[in-house]
Amino acid sequence: MQVQSYLFFDGRCEEAIEFYKKTLGAQVDMLMRWKDSPDKSMCSPGNENKVMHASFKIGDTRVMASDGRNTGNPKFDGFALSVDAKSEADADRLFDGLSSGGKVVMPLGKTFFSPRFGMTQDKFGVNWMVLVQSK
């Protein structure tokens, strides 16, 4: 069994995917727009080119995403995505990239469980934890 994240960006999905490609090296496996739906009643004026469903990989992890209802107000409360960095320098790079345009929740630094750990919210409101595993 697998549990996978499905994120609803309410109209900013394509922008988010491009951000994750640049920041995290995400690779898009599939992207379907509302206009491509076999059920044309699902495509309303203004959402034709919005993302109905996308699937992309960040490292070995699959993430799915959509524009959802296209309200322009994505909310990602109550959870965070965690990314393991290969090194402290990699953690710095990932954290800086994810924080760009967003807000730092807990600055990146040494903790009792990691030589490098921090929490940030990206510019879409998705919460991230970046850490280097202790050896």
Domains detected in the chain: 5-66 (3.30.720.100), 81-132 (3.30.720.110)
Residues 21-67 pLDDT 10s:
999 999 999 999 999 888 877 777 778 899 999 999 999 999 999 99
Of 77, 73, 117, residue with least CA distance to 94: 117
Beta-strand relationship, 103-109 and 81-85 = unpaired
CB 12 within 8 A of CB 66: no
The reported pTM is 0.92
pLDDT at res. 125: 96
Residue 111 scores a pLDDT above 80: yes
